[in-house]
């Protein structure tokens, strides 16, 4: 019963890091929605179609089912922003086997935000398959060098960054600079290299801690699917000081309590 209640709450919480800040305009007629879903030249049109499909799912519009196959296909789109948004949309209907299968596949996506949106969406299906990704939200995320070369403009620890913020540049022998950008909003936790240092592609450059909105959503999801081995990560937030908002600390305490209760009820071998 607690699980079902929690799933209902998550249905409105999932889009916290989806690119959806800009109003997508007037509602689209079905013919326009169909065209926008397949407008390969305008990613914004695809995003608008996804947004309006999500609204229809939430309203219980049965006609939106005609685009379910296309929404699942967009989980394999070349643009990770579209894949991440498709994962969120699929989380709005936890009765769809097609969405469930697609989301399970998306847990292996190379983009961190796609994986995390898929993990959150799967909780609505009472599927804990994305639990490792949910726990990872509570930890600093290490970002690798996008190319080999000399590090420049590496951001300093403690700086707040938005999604897409420049974290570092890596210049190759020709002077061409490959940029490393933040995959999500948060704070720079640690420099793992130094300005002027030569690195290889894939070497760790910097770690970033997700912002409190992401942490809160992870804690809410782990309230439902967390396991005993997740407790250290959860309890760090429960015991955190004033840098962590009280609401997040309270949620961490509730999540830890739920995990312990669930663990105690599991049969022992």
- pLDDT one-digit tens code per residue, 227-247: 999 999 999 999 998 888 999
Give pLDDT tens digits for 27-43. 889 999 999 999 999 99
Q: What is the pTM of this model?
A: 0.87
Contact 176, 104 (CB under 8 A): no
- Average pLDDT for 57-78: 96
Order across the sheet with 177-181: list the strands: 177-181, 166-171, 149-152, 198-199
Minimum mean pLDDT range among 8-17, 66-75, 168-177, 245-254: 8-17
Q: Which residue has the tokens 């793992």?
A: 192
């Amino acid at each position: 019963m607690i699980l079902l209640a929690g799933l209902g709450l998550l249905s409105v919480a999932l889009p916290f890091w989806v690119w959806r800040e800009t109003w997508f305009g007037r509602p689209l007629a079905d013919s326009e929605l169909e065209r926008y879903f397949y407008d390969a030249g305008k990613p914004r049109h695809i995003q608008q179609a996804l947004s309006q499909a999500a609204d229809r799912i939430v309203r219980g519009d049965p006609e939106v089912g005609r685009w379910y196959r296309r929404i699942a296909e967009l989980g394999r789109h070349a643009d990770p922003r579209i894949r991440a948004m498709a994962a969120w949309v699929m989380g709005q209907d936890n009765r769809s086997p097609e969405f469930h299968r697609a989301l399970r596949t998306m847990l292996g996506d190379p983009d961190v935000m796609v994986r995390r949106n898929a993990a959150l969406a799967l909780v609505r299906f009472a599927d804990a398959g994305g639990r490792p990704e949910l726990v990872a939200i509570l930890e600093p995320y290490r970002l690798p060098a996008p190319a080999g070369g000399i590090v420049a403009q590496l951001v300093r620890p403690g700086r707040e960054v938005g999604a897409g913020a420049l974290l570092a540049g890596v210049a190759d022998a020709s002077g061409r600079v490959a940029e490393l950008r933040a995959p999500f909003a948060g704070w720079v936790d640690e420099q793992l290299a130094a300005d002027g240092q030569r690195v290889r592609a894939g070497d760790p450059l910097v770690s970033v801690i997700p912002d409190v909105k992401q942490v809160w959503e992870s804690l809410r999801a782990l309230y439902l699917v967390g396991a005993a081995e997740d407790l250290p990560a959860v309890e760090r937030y429960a015991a955190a000081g004033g840098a962590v908002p009280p609401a997040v600390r309270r949620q961490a305490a509730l999540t830890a309590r739920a995990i312990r209760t669930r663990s105690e009820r599991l049969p022992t071998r």
